[in-house]
Amino acid sequence: MAIKKVIIIGSGLGGLLTGCILSKEGYNVTVLEKNRQIGGCLQVFARKGCIFNTGLNYTEGLAEGQILYKYFKYIGIIDKLKLRRMDIDGFEIVTFNNEEYKFAQGHENFIETLVQKFPDERQTITKYVNDIKKISSEFPLYNLSTEQYQMAGWDSYEQSVSEYFDTLTENNILKNVLCGTSMLYAGLPKITPFYIHSLINHSFINSSWRLIDGSHHLAIELTKVIKSNGGIVLRNKEVKKLIFKDKKITSVETKEGEQFNTDIVISNIHPVNTLKMIEGNQVYSAYRNRVISLQNTIGMFTIYVVLKENTFEYQNYNHYCHNSSSVWSAENYFEKEWPDSYMLYTPATSKSEKYADSLIIMSYMSFKDVEKWENTWIEQRGEEYLEFKKQRAEKLLDVVENKFKNLRNSINCYYTSTPLTYRDYTGTPEGSSYGILKESKNLLKTIILPKTKIENLFFTGQNLNMHGILGVTISSVMTCAEIIGQEYLVNKIIESNAE
């Protein structure tokens, strides 16, 4: 039988992982990337000797025997990554009401650490941990099960974050603390499904890690796997059109008019941008209209700080700081004083474990804040835009310095990005942080399935069920399972971990 050709559009994490799996299983894989740098949200940039991640800040589940470890072992990269495990007794520090609360790794450690702050809430915190553990266990690919997902009729899918916590406890401070890392999914408490909160928090509590010297190393290792299996990854190849014959895609066409013949197309870019490549009535108008109408998660404003040498200690944990009565800063964004919350972390570097050479500060930003420049491109937005970014940066630094005293004395220089920057580098509409917003009461509308109505077109990446490294890895396995079979693929992964 002839080897099937697969074109993957976009070299983000989902595209590279899908390419690794299919190339390992004998498919002829070509990944087409529109930018000169591969990796999507794994991209980095360097300034004054410092490497800055643009998307991946830390990851989870990489202790031996844990779920992401198993997937990466199957792919063949687990021993190639330079990792630093974050602080066991406090990998996250949530500041709420001017009080610090630590999230510890390990279920019992997590409970005992929070009970020190909430001595009367042991039962509540224990129930919370058991609940997120239970929900995670019901997702087959989070546990390498060959069972199929059964979304319909499962109450856990349709319960919002606020609905869960309102039944869990009346302690408002504890509610906010447990949701203090909601910037990991840009949640809206009455809309975001609780299962998203559960999967993310559960996997980070299992174990949390930073990639040393930049997230691009993950993209590099995945690319090596694809190439070692006979596949290719091409840069500066922006796909603009999918060409059909008899309701099937036969080739893709790039911006320059170059065509690549294929048997299967997998899109790792946003579904809206994918549909723009399909002309005529190859897609039902109802489906096209549904996808176009979906709301995306809010974007981020980010400050990338180059620090003066040996002036700011490396912190093996992240800070989530909230300055209002609620940690849900994305809710009613324009009605609040900006910035009312931010995340701060020091990237892991091989230069030193004592001092940080840089730090990254992130706060929500709506695309509407930068909409007046939406028809411009990177480095071409004009002085007004630069002044806007500077004013926002200084305002955010003022807030940050309330907690981190004399921070400005440690700053050599800084750079900034907005949702426009993220849009232009990753192709995500409106610079959304995590793609399509999942709605607990309208889940089937907001979930994008890997298999489309077009026989040989599939989706992968963060716009499916979940985002983040673990979520995108599982989404990639879901996509590949549609092509080669879930039972077969899961068994191959299990077998590779038994060796």
pLDDT in tens, the chain (499 residues): 567 999 999 999 999 999 999 999 999 999 999 999 888 888 888 899 898 888 778 899 999 999 999 999 999 999 999 999 999 999 999 999 999 999 999 999 999 999 999 999 999 999 999 999 999 988 888 888 877 655 545 566 789 999 999 999 999 999 999 999 999 999 899 999 999 999 999 999 999 999 999 899 999 999 999 999 999 999 999 999 999 998 899 999 999 999 999 999 999 999 999 999 998 888 888 888 888 999 999 999 999 999 999 999 999 999 999 998 899 999 989 888 999 999 999 999 999 989 999 999 999 999 999 999 999 988 899 999 999 999 999 999 999 999 999 899 999 999 999 999 999 888 888 999 998 898 988 877 888 889 998 999 999 998 887 778 888 999 999 999 999 999 999 999 999 998 7
Whether residue 371 sits in one domain with residue 240: no
**Amino acid 153: pLDDT:** 52
**Amino acid 324: pLDDT:** 87
Whether residue 303 sits in one domain with residue 290: no
Structure-block tokens of residue 371: 């909409």
Whether residue 113 sits in one domain with residue 261: no
Q: What is the pTM of this model?
A: 0.94
Taking CA atoms, 419 is separated from 367, 429, 472, in Å, by 6, 9, 21
Residue 159, domain member (yes or no): yes
**Count of the separate structural domains present in the chain:** 2
Of 110, 70, 150, 234, nearest to 444 (Cα)? 150
What is the SS3 assignment for the chain?
CCCCEEEEECCEHHHHHHHHHHHHCCCEEEEECCCCCCEHHHCEEEECCEEEECCCCCEECCCCCCHHHHHHHHHCCCCCCCEEECCCCCCEEEEECCEEEEECCCHHHHHHHHHCCCCCCHHHHHHHHHHHHHHHHCCHHHCCCCCCCCCCCCHHHHCEHHHHHHHHCCCHHHHHHHCCCHHHCCCCCCCCEHHHHHHHHHHHHHCEEEECCCCHHHHHHHHHHHHHCCCEEECCCCEEEEEEECCEEEEEEECCCCEEECCEEEECCCHHHHHCCCCCCCCCHHHHHHHHHCCECCEEEEEEEEECCCCCECCCCEEEEECCCCCCCCCCHHHCCCCCEEEEECCCCCCCCCECCEEEEEEEECHHHHHHHCCCCCCCCCHHHHHHHHHHHHHHHHHHHHHCCCHHHHEEEEEEECHHHHHHHHCCHHHCCCCECCCHHHHHHHCCCCECCCCCEEECCCCCCCCHHHHHHHHHHHHHHHHHCHHHHHHHHHHHHHC
List the CATH number of the domain containing 484: 3.50.50.60
Whether residue 459 sits in one domain with residue 375: no
Whether residue 450 sits in one domain with residue 407: no
Whether residue 227 sits in one domain with residue 207: no
Whether residue 313 sits in one domain with residue 287: no
Whether residue 301 sits in one domain with residue 397: yes
List the CATH number of the domain containing 147: 3.90.660
Whether residue 485 sits in one domain with residue 426: no
Listed residues 431, 449, 468: the one ending a domain? 431
Listed residues 416, 431, 446: the one ending a domain? 431
* CA 134 – CA 231 distance, rounded (Å): 39
Residue 76, domain member (yes or no): no
Which domain range does residue 21 map to?
5-42+214-294+435-498
Listed residues 401, 431, 461: the one ending a domain? 431
Whether residue 473 sits in one domain with residue 416: no
Residue 186, domain member (yes or no): yes
**Amino acid 410: pLDDT:** 97
Residue with tokens 């869960």: 164
**Amino acid 107: pLDDT:** 96
Whether residue 355 sits in one domain with residue 265: no
Whether residue 265 sits in one domain with residue 186: no
Residue 64, domain member (yes or no): no
**Amino acid 57: pLDDT:** 81
Adjacency order of strands within the sheet including 92-96: 99-103, 92-96, 318-322, 341-345, 358-365, 299-307, 411-417
**Amino acid 287: pLDDT:** 87
